[in-house]
Amino acid sequence: MTEILCVVGARPNFMKIAPIMAAFAAKPISAKLVHTGQHYDPAMSDSFFEQLGIPRPDVNLEVGSASHAVQTADIMRAFEPVLDAEQPRAVLVVGDVNSTIACALVAAKKGIKVIHVEAGLRSYDRGMPEEFNRVLTDQIADLLYTTERSALPNLLREGIAEARVQFVGNVMIDTLRAHLERAVPAERTLGAKPARGHAVVTLHRPSNVDDPAILRRLLETLATIARELDVVFPIHPRTRAAAERHGLAALLEAPGVRLLPPQGYLEMLGLMRDATLVLTDSGGLQEETTALGVPCITLRENTERPITLSEGSNTLTGPDPEKILPCFREILASGGKRGRIPEYWDGHAAERIAAHLRGWLDSV
Ligand code: UD1
C-alpha cells in the first residue's frame, strides 16, 4: 500500500522532493511520486531527476503549459483518477507552484490528508500568483512543515492551529549540502574563469518580465553591471519569450552578458558558489545564496523568505536601477553581506520530516 503520494511539477520542486524521497525510503515510509508535467523541457525537468537521483515518477500527468486556470484545472482533472487508483493515506506537496495547490485541493476534497512542505511563507503580495497557492494550500493542509520560524506567526494569523505546524528546516538546503562537492566549477561551465569575476542572474517573475518597461530597465541595468564583471544569465524560457515579444532581444546580447540555456542543478550550484554575487527574482536562489554565503540582490519589492534578509546574505532592491546599482557597487567594494546559516538549514530537514511523519502516520 502507498502511504504517501508525493507530487512535483515545476523546477523548484525537484530539489525539494529529492531528499524527502530518500528519507522516506530509509525510514521506511512507502511513497510514490507523481510528476504533473507542469515543467517538461529536459533542461527544466529530466536533468534534475538524473543529477539528484530522484526516482523516476510512477505517474506523469503531462499537463504542460497553459494559463493558470487551465493549467491548474488540467492538473486537478488528471490527478483525481490517480488518487482514486492509489488511495494513499496522504498526499505530500512542496513549495508554491500551481501543481502544489491543484493536487492539495483534489486530495482535501476527497478526505485524503494533505502534507505541505515549505508551509507558512508569505510575501503578503497578492500580485504574485504563488501567494494564492501558499495561502490556500496551507488552509487545507493537515500537516505543515516549515523552513523558518517566521512561518508560524503567519499561519497562526490565518487561524491555523499550531498543532498542525512543525518546524523542520529547509529540505532544499539538504540537497545543496549533499551535492556541493559535486558542483560543476563555474570555469568548466563557462569555458574559462572570467578574469573580472562573474555575477549570476536569473529572472522570470511575471512582475519583472511581463511589463516591457520594467524588463527593459532590468536588462539595461544588467548591461551596466556587465561593464564591470561578466553577467552569466541562464535564461528561463518565459523570459526569453517575453524579451522577444517586447522587441528587447538585442539587450540580451549586450557586451559582457553571457546568455546560457537553463542549467542543470550541479552546473547552477557551481555558478552560484563561484560567483561574486547573484541577482535574482527566484525564491530558491535567495535561500541557496544564504546557505552558500554569497551576496544576493533580490530584484523584488518583498520576500516570503525574510530569514535570508535578517540572517542571510540577501538584500531586496526591487527592479529599480537606482537601488540595484548602489547595492551592486557596495558588494563590489566591501564583499557584501555574508550572513550566517539559519537554524535547521543543516542538511537534515528531510530526515526530521520522515521521523515526524512516521509517528504521525502511526497515530492517525
Ligand atoms: C513556475 C512557478 C514559479 C516558479 C517557476 C520556476 C507557478 C505559478 N509558477 O513558473 O513559482 O518559480 O515555475 O521556473 O506555478 N516553459 C517552457 N518549458 C517548460 C516549462 C515552461 O518552455 O518546461 C515556458 C512556457 O512558455 C510556459 C512558461 O515557460 O508558458 C511558463 O511556465 P509555467 O509553468 O506556467 O510557469 P513558470 O514561469 O515556469
Over residues 170-212, the pLDDT tens digits come to 999 999 999 999 999 999 999 999 999 999 999 999 999 999 9
Percent of the chain predicted with pLDDT > 70: 100
CATH, residue 133: 3.40.50.2000
Residue 21 lies in a domain: yes
Residue 339 lies in a domain: no
Residue 360 CB-density burial (10 A; 0-12 exposed, 13-18 middle, 19+ buried): middle
How many Å lie between the centroid of ligand 1 and the Cα of residue 133? 14
Q: 251: which DSSP letter?
A: G
The amino acid occupying position 53 is G
Q: Write down the pLDDT at residue 295.
A: 98
Q: Write down the pLDDT at residue 121.
A: 98
151 & 191 share domain: no
What's the rounded Cα separation, in Å, for the pair 216 and 214?
5
Strands 165-167 and 198-202, how do they pair? Answer: unpaired
Residue 106 lies in a domain: yes
The per-residue pLDDT for range 254-309, each reduced to its tens digit, is 999 999 999 999 999 999 999 999 999 999 999 999 999 999 999 999 999 999 99
11 & 92 share domain: yes
63 & 84 share domain: yes
* Mutate which of 97, 210, 239 for ligand 1 pocket (most atoms within 8 A of beta carbon): 97
The per-residue pLDDT for range 37-93, each reduced to its tens digit, is 999 999 999 999 999 999 999 999 999 999 999 999 999 999 999 999 999 999 999
Among protein residues, the one with the nearest Cα to ligand 1's atom 33 is: 65
199 & 327 share domain: yes
What stretches of 309-361 adopt beta strand conformation (E)? Answer: 314-316
Residue 278 lies in a domain: yes
190 lines ligand 1 (CB under 6 A): no
Which residue range is the domain that position 277 belongs to?
Answer: 184-334
Residue 20 has pLDDT above 90, yes or no: yes
Q: Write down the pLDDT at residue 176.
A: 98
Strands 198-202 and 230-234, how do they pair? Answer: parallel
The amino acid occupying position 122 is R
What's the rounded Cα separation, in Å, for the pair 249 and 243?
5
145 & 32 share domain: yes
Q: Write down the pLDDT at residue 1.
A: 85
Ligand 1 atom closest to the Cα of residue 241 is 26
35 & 155 share domain: yes
Residue 313 CB-density burial (10 A; 0-12 exposed, 13-18 middle, 19+ buried): buried
Query: Residue 217, SS3?
Result: helix
127 & 243 share domain: no
Among protein residues, the one with the nearest Cα to ligand 1's atom 7 is: 97
Among protein residues, the one with the nearest Cα to ligand 1's atom 12 is: 282
What's the rounded Cα separation, in Å, for the pair 301 and 124?
11
19 & 159 share domain: yes
Residue 364 has pLDDT above 90, yes or no: no
Among protein residues, the one with the nearest Cα to ligand 1's atom 31 is: 238
233 & 194 share domain: yes
Residue 179 lies in a domain: no
The count of structural domains within the chain is: 2
How many Å lie between the centroid of ligand 1 and the Cα of residue 144? 25
Residue 176 CB-density burial (10 A; 0-12 exposed, 13-18 middle, 19+ buried): buried
133 & 274 share domain: no
226 and 255 Cβ atoms separated by less than 8 Å: yes
30 & 156 share domain: yes
Residue 178 lies in a domain: no
Ligand 1 atom closest to the Cα of residue 100 is 15
Residue 277 cell numbers, joined: 554575487
35 & 150 share domain: yes
Q: Which of 292, 271, 277, 282 is nearest to 345 (CA)?
A: 292
How many Å lie between the centroid of ligand 1 and the Cα of residue 62? 14
Mean pLDDT of the chain: 97
240 lines ligand 1 (CB under 6 A): no
Residue 340 lies in a domain: no
Residue 242 lies in a domain: yes
How would you write 44-83 as a 3-class SS string?
CCHHHHHHHCCCCCCEECCCCCCCHHHHHHHHHHHHHHHH
